[in-house]
Amino acid sequence: MTEPLYLGKLAVLYEGQGDADDFKRLAERLGVPLRVTSEPNFDQLESFYLTWRDGVLKLLDRELLKKGGLAVDIEPRPGEQRSWPAPKNTPLGQALGRKTQTVVDATTGWGQDSLHIFRMGYSLRCIERSPVMVELLQDAFRRLGELEWVKNLSLELPELIAGNAIETLAGLDEHPDCIYIDPMFPPKRKKSALAKKSMTILQELLGDDPDKDELFSAAMQSAAKKVVVKSPDYAEPLGGKPSQSFQGKLLRYDVYVKN
Ligand SMILES: C[S@@+](CC[C@H](N)C(=O)[O-])C[C@H]1O[C@@H](n2cnc3c(N)ncnc32)[C@H](O)[C@@H]1O
């Protein structure tokens, strides 16, 4: 049965390369159809696809069908120091803080913040509720584990937990020092030229996260020391006045310290 979330929107695409059974199993796990581009009316069917290209799991829309595709990027961000642990002098690092050791990213998405948190040397668990993003993240963490520097340093990979963080956080065996949340906010304008393709595609596929307030309360309950919320700079702070705020490019990291 197709997941209601993806009904008529998403298919797994087999382009004739790789083991067809892997594609079939992926389609079954997600409850979406398996397609080939040559099938009748292909143009009028789903508008998003998951497929392996060059051994990497990718999400495509119709624009990306001809080339490319979006995968979770496991490389350091431009300008990020390529050492381990990377310095904590970025706005995200400052918001998490030097005394923090354990972090749960409750809204992992494309994993870009999680991977930055991992590279800064925090011990990390990642929660994601979208089954599509979970598949993309699993593929990324497999690739991460194969990187020479990760193997040489015998680093423990982030643990990925599939599910809604509002429930998952309450059942964690250990309270993390910090819980990080970056839910989807409605864009300020209909189409922002600055919005990255990866984020617009996520917005189109999954929509907003209307239960952000509930997620914030669950995070405040479960964090041992603090909650950090990433917000676009036009959005009101999710939990009222924060204890501290760190400014990034067009965004803020609001820190809520527990008393
Ligand atoms: C804006 S994206 C996060 C982007 C991420 N920080 C990054 O660097 O790529 C929000 C993600 O959080 C997930 N999400 C939102 N609310 C959630 C919840 N309550 N539990 C688990 N995942 C959630 C959404 O499915 C989406 O993938």
Q: What percent of the chain has pLDDT over 70?
A: 96
> Residue 8: its pLDDT value, please?
87
The dihedral formed by the CA atoms of 17, 19, 25 and 30, expressed in degrees to the nearest 10: -20
Q: Is residue 80 within 6 Å of ligand 1 at its C-beta?
A: no
Would you say residue 73 lies in a domain?
no
Check whether the bond before 78 is cis (ω within 30° of 0): no
| Structure tokens that stand for 75 in this block | 């490389």
Name the residue at shortest CA distance from atom 3 of ligand 1. 109
Same domain, 189 and 232: yes
Instruction: Specify whether the CB–CB gap between 238 and 231 falls below 8 A.
Output: yes
Distance 184 CA to ligand 1 centre (A): 7
Report how far ligand 1's centroid is from the alpha carbon of 212 (Å).
10
Q: How far apart are CA 77 and CA 79, in angstroms?
A: 6
Predicted local confidence at residue 77, as pLDDT? 84
* 80 lies in some domain: no
Report pLDDT digits (tens) over 78-104: 888 788 999 999 999 999 999 999 999
Tell me, in angstroms, the distance from the centre of ligand 1 to residue 214's CA: 14
Query: In degrees rounded to 5, what are phi and psi of residue 252?
Result: -130, 150
At residue 194 the predicted structure's pLDDT band, cuts being 50, 70 and 90, is low
Tell me: pLDDT of 46 over 70.
yes
- Encoded amino acid at 112, one letter: Q
Domain count of the fold of the chain: 2
Query: What is the per-residue pLDDT for 80?
Result: 80
- What number is the average pLDDT over the span 180-185? 95
- Ligand 1 neighbour 231 (Cβ under 6 A): no
Mean pLDDT of 154-180: 97
Whether 150 maps to a domain, the answer reads yes
Per-residue pLDDT at 1 exceeds 60: no
Domain containing 27 — which CATH number? Answer: 3.40.120
Question: Strand locations in the chain, DSSP E?
Answer: 10-13, 34-35, 48-53, 56-61, 102-105, 123-128, 159-162, 178-181, 226-232, 244-247, 251-257
Structure tokens at 233: 């700079």
pLDDT at 190 over 90: no
On whether both 143 and 178 belong to a single domain, the answer is yes
Residues in the chain: 259
Helix-helix angle 20-30:131-145, to 10 degrees:
140
What pLDDT shows up at residue 127? 98
In the prediction, which pLDDT does 99 show? 97
pLDDT interval class at 191 (50, 70, 90): low
Check: CB of residue 51 under 8 Å from CB of residue 13. yes
189-223 per-residue burial string, b: 16 or more CB within 10 A, e: under 16: eeeeeeeeebbebbeebbeebeebeebbebbeebb
Same domain for 113 and 220, yes or no, is yes
Dist CA 126 CA 180 (whole Å): 10
Q: Are residues 119 and 205 in the same domain?
A: yes
pLDDT of residue 253: 98
Range of the structural domain that residue 55 is part of: 4-64
For the residues 215-229, what does the mean pLDDT come to? 98
Strands 102-105 and 123-128: parallel
Q: Is the pLDDT of residue 3 over 70?
A: no
Q: Report pLDDT digits (tens) over 124-161.
A: 999 999 999 999 999 999 999 999 999 999 999 999 99
Residues 6+ apart with CB under 8 A from 206: 5, 130, 184
**Average confidence score pLDDT of the chain:** 93
pLDDT, position 50: 97
Tell me how far apart the alpha carbons of residues 84 and 207 are, in angstroms, rounded to a whole number. 35
Banded pLDDT at 187 (limits 50, 70, 90): confident
Question: Amino acid letter at 184?
Answer: M
Residues 51 and 114 in one domain: no
The CATH number given to whatever domain includes residue 183 is: 3.40.50.150
Q: In the chain, pLDDT over 90 holds for what percent of residues? A: 81
- Claim to verify: residue 38 and residue 133 sit in the same structural domain: no
